[in-house]
Amino acid sequence: MKTIKVSVVTPDGPVYESDVEMVITRAQSGELGILPGHIPLVAPLVISSVRLKRDGKTEQIAVNGGFIEVRPDQVTILTPTAELASDIDVERAQRAKERAEQRLQDQHQEHIDFKRAELALKRAVNRLGVSEGKR
């Protein structure tokens, strides 16, 4: 089967590099499925998973938005943070989720930055989903 090279890179360095048969992720415009030979494309991503298919197996990475650049033989994902499903600290994500939910509930507190709390909640829910293979 044909493969395409995939790199997932954060400001702290590369998180993943491999050859895969298919890449699935979520751009702001909707889900993207990329096979080898895909037409060139650059798109902004949302907080979601990157699913990488090879030999009947799927690996998952939680990404925090950023950009995808597709060339026929190479996919590059640039994102502020990325974690392989197996590297996700579930308790940490659970704590982050509870903190964010608490902040969003405190509607009367003017000093709470809701947008920031919403994004923290999305990151935590995404990490929990990816760690369970559900994203």
Which residues sit at the interface with ligand ATP, rule CB under 6 A? 64, 81, 83, 87-89, 92-93, 96, 120, 123, 127
Q: Which is nearer to ligand ATP, 89 or 113 (CB)?
A: 89
Q: Cβ 96 to ligand ATP, closest distance in Å?
A: 4
Strand ranges (DSSP E) for 1-135?
4-10, 13-20, 22-27, 30-34, 41-54, 57-71, 74-78, 82-84
From the list 91, 81, 85, 87, the residue with the least C-alpha distance to 123 is 81
Q: β-pairing, 4-10 with 74-78?
A: parallel
Q: Which long-range contacts (CB under 8 A, 24 or more apart) does 109-117 make?
A: none
Q: Which is nearer to ligand ATP, 34 or 64 (CB)?
A: 64
Q: Cβ 27 to ligand ATP, closest distance in Å?
A: 20
Q: Cβ 90 to ligand ATP, closest distance in Å?
A: 7
Q: Which is nearer to ligand ATP, 12 or 31 (CB)?
A: 12
Q: Which is nearer to ligand ATP, 38 or 48 (CB)?
A: 48
